[in-house]
Amino acid sequence: MNKYLAECFGTFWLVLGGCGSAVLCCAFPNVGIGLLGVSLAFGLTVLTMAYAIGHISGCHLNPAVSLGLWAGGRFPAKDLVPYIIAQCVGAIVAAGVLYFIASGASGFDVSAGFASNGYGAHSPGGYSMAAAFVCEVVMTAMFLLVILGATDERAPQGFAPVAIGLCLTLIHLISIPVTNTSVNPARSLGVAVFCGGWALEQLWLFWVAPLLGGVLGAKLYGLISGK
């Protein structure tokens, strides 16, 4: 159970740190951290957890990563469903903690978005469903390519968490305006459960596109690495 607990707590930290920075700090008067700060927060959650639990569970924190690692021959099929369940539980619990904290401020309105992912009218930049889908597929594919490359036995040892954390930061810098950045079905699920309404209605895209992107990224890495 150690690796499943590690995935649960790791995903908890990703959602609390990443989505928490967006909900609590992004537009805070005078000292709001903005898009750059939120992007960095997501990257830092993965970087810190990679060093904290990478040796226990591999620090996937993301169903698309687990599926991509399986597709790339780096992860056993028997652990796939338990990992995804653990990640989703951690994400929902983190969103619950964030909801409790955020609701302690007057004027808090969960229906305003609660860091949920969306397209069309619910995209930060008003991007279409097709644009959102392509963005999520491509960003997740590139994320998996970096993960597989950085953790390849031929790569420099000890630097994988840095490369992966910075990659997630870059992904957010690119795609927050498009979808609020998912590339992680568990992260999308956690906040959507509390936001409800449109967030749950559009959640399908933030499962289908990242999972597809994860498999695509694994296949692309296999093609270019010769493994």
**pLDDT score at 26:** 83
Residue 227 has pLDDT above 80, yes or no: no
Q: How distant is the alpha carbon of residue 166 from its chain centre? A: 13
User: Per-residue pLDDT for 197 more than 80?
Assistant: yes
CA distance 62 to 73: 17
Taking alpha carbons only, the member of 75, 11, 80 closest to residue 46 is: 11
Q: How far is it, in rounded angstroms, from Cα 164 to Cα 146?
A: 7
Mean pLDDT of 188-211: 97
Query: pLDDT digit string (tens) for 40-77?
Result: 999 999 999 999 999 999 999 999 999 999 999 999 99
Q: Which of 226, 217, 205, 200 is nearest to 66 (CA)?
A: 217
State the CATH number of the domain containing residue 124: 1.20.1080.10
Q: How many CB atoms lie within 10 A of CB 191?
A: 28
Quote the number of domains for the chain: 1
Sorting pLDDT into bands at 50, 70 and 90, what band is 107? confident
Q: Where are the alpha helices (DSSP H) in the chain?
A: 2-20, 34-57, 63-71, 80-102, 129-150, 160-179, 185-195, 198-201, 205-225
Lowest-confidence segment of 18-22, 27-31, 34-38, 80-84 by average pLDDT? 27-31
User: Does the global pTM surpass 0.75?
Assistant: yes
pLDDT per position as a tens digit, 151-173: 999 999 889 999 999 999 999 99
pLDDT for 221: 96
Give the pLDDT confidence score for residue 20 in this predicted structure.
Answer: 96
Contacts of 86 by beta carbon, 8 Å cutoff, 6+ apart:
4, 5, 7, 8, 11
pLDDT at 146 over 80: yes
pLDDT at residue 138, rounded to an integer? 98
Domain containing 64: what range? 2-106+114-225
- Lowest-pLDDT choice from 18-22, 29-33, 143-147: 29-33
Cα–Cα distances (Å) from 90 to 18, 30, 94, 113, 194, in that order, read: 13, 32, 6, 20, 14
Largest separation between any pair of C-alpha atoms in the chain: 56
Q: Which of 15, 42, 211, 4 is nearest to 102 (CA)?
A: 15
d(CA 54, CA 186): 18
